[in-house]
Structure 1
Amino acid sequence: MASHLILGRRVDIPLEIRDATVCSATYLVRADAARAVLAYSGMDVTELMPGKAACTLVFAAYRDSALEAYHEFGVVFLVRPPEAHAPPPRGPLAGVRDMRGAGFGTFVHWLPVDRRLTLEAGRSIWGFPKELADIDVRLDTPYKRCILRKDGRLVIDLLIRPGTPLPGTGPLALEAYAHLDGVTRCVPWSMRPRGIRARPGGALIRLGNHPVAKELSELGLPKRALMTSSISNLSMSVGEARPLPSPLPSPRPPGD
């Protein structure tokens, strides 16, 4: 087991998140616009249909984790993996449904959080593009809501209406990608979702005047969501990041 010292605290890898609630809205956006957004990373989007890529907005309340409790918001794209996949899960992940050979991965473009410990751990251990922001997550009403402000400016106000209950999927093994300080990394992780709901549409968006809001508007938001989902109880295990060789990216960080 690997470990890292973050702000004087030992963080063991794989990192365990024992209880979280996660809500997301996925949108079909122009593939050429998505490629322009991700040009800095050297990654390429997966086209779900000709000329269309998937952008997912996700917010989470982590209640019980090795990084304490915190809130998080993510802008994520479905991408083509740039490398051969790792061997099937072993040890504690044996028996987990392995999605890493499915021909796609998730690229984490922007990942604001509201606590310093998860910020430092996310950037230094995995290379996730975490930034501090004000994140107001409201989960105690039928509509799930996240209001995100950065540097005193509204980025997004996202409202999600939970859909129809779905059967559990069992544990899943996936790969996430992120680019920070000129390095693209692959992060293996597994998830065990319980209390899944999903529906077509089901989201309302209000964009603010922050540069990331402008970037989202260039992707065509706000618009009708392809689908929304919510997971009332999610546990996750996040492994060690692997740096990947990548072509020289264009210097365009999130929101520029």
Structure 2
Amino acid sequence: MHAVLGEKVRMPVEIRRADACSAMFAVDSAAAGRLLADRGLEPVRFAGRALCSMAFVRYVDGDLGPYHEFAFALLVRRPGHGIGVYIHWLPVNQSFTCAAGRQIWGFPKEMADIRIEPVGRGHRCAVRLDGRLVVALRVGGGVPLPSGLGGASVDAYAWGDVLRRTPWVMNPAAVRGRPGGARIQLGDHPVADEMRALGLPGRALFSTRIGLLRMTFEEAQEV
């Protein structure tokens, strides 16, 4: 159990209802390696390129309350272990989940203005810090896909003073996806410059919309 801003958070943390949009991009592997320098992780490569995930989530019912979140992450491998995801930047729009994420898991959360809205057959998320656009991601509609990932566990890595690994279980339903199907717009913030250094914006390899997402976050472990 953890005490966060005067409230008790019991483990594991459960998300009972959320929805999410995500897109996967092939990016410069050398630039990805620089983001991972001294982390004990290496980028997963596909056809000589690293893989970058951009996602936005609308948390509706969960132990940390309702909030919006954007994730900028890389697919990684820790030597001797399987594939996981390194979360490089994780802005949110509510202070409690920001404090809990940083304190419990070491996630790189910070407060931001995050607007998620329906656009055409898809959704668009825009993230601003101090009134400056960092990134906007639009994910279009797709075709129904089998959920197929029920109970899938992913290692989520985050770096603070040390590297931490958090077992993260996802149960998606009402999944739609397609090749391509996403568009990124970058602003003038330093985080946007980190995205540009990877070669973004670019064409998405694949995009996904999850209409119902349940998740569980276990205790973080130092590695």
* TMscore range, shorter length: over 0.9
Partner in structure 2 of residue 173 of structure 1: 153
Pair 1:6–1:140, CA change in 2 (3 A): farther
Partner in structure 1 of residue 207 of structure 2: 228
| Higher CA-based Rg | 1
The answer as to whether partners of 2:26 and 2:51 remain within 8 angstroms in 1 is: yes
1:116 is the counterpart of 2:95:
yes
How much does 1:140 deviate?
Answer: 7.3
1:159 is the counterpart of 2:138:
yes
Pair 1:185–1:220, CA change in 2 (3 A): same
Write the letter of the residue equivalent to 2:16.
R
Partner in structure 2 of residue 22 of structure 1: 20
Partner in structure 2 of residue 91 of structure 1: none
Partner in structure 1 of residue 183 of structure 2: 204
1:77-88 → structure 2 map (5 Å cutoff):
77-82=74-79, 84=81
CA distance in 2, matches of 1:152, 1:40: 32
Q: Aligned residues, how many? A: 222
Backbone CA RMSD of aligned residues: 1.3
CA distance in 1, matches of 2:72, 2:203: 17
The answer as to whether partners of 1:38 and 1:109 remain within 8 angstroms in 2 is: no
1:1-256 → structure 2 map (5 Å cutoff):
3-39=1-37, 41-50=39-48, 52-82=49-79, 84=81, 103-139=82-118, 142-169=121-148, 170-180=150-160, 182-244=161-223
Return structure 1 stretches of 4+ with deviation > 4 angstroms. none
The answer as to whether partners of 1:202 and 1:225 remain within 8 angstroms in 2 is: yes
- Map Cα deviations across residues 174-198 of structure 1 (whole Å, 9 max, x no partner): 2111101x21000002111001111
SS of aligned partner of 1:236? strand
Write the letter of the residue equivalent to 1:68.
G
SS of aligned partner of 2:34? helix
CA distance in 1, matches of 2:5, 2:15: 19
Pair 1:105–1:127, CA change in 2 (3 A): same
CA distance in 1, matches of 2:104, 2:52: 25
In the superposition, the TM-score normalised over structure 2's length comes to: 0.96
Q: Which runs of 5+ in 2 are unaligned?
A: none
Q: Which runs of 5+ in 1 are unaligned?
A: 85-102, 245-256
Pair 1:141–1:66, CA change in 2 (3 A): farther
The answer as to whether partners of 2:157 and 2:164 remain within 8 angstroms in 1 is: yes
CA distance in 2, matches of 1:226, 1:40: 28
Q: What percent of counterpart residues are identical?
A: 46
In the superposition, the TM-score normalised over structure 1's length comes to: 0.84
Partner in structure 2 of residue 253 of structure 1: none
The answer as to whether partners of 2:40 and 2:78 remain within 8 angstroms in 1 is: no
Write the letter of the residue equivalent to 2:186.
L
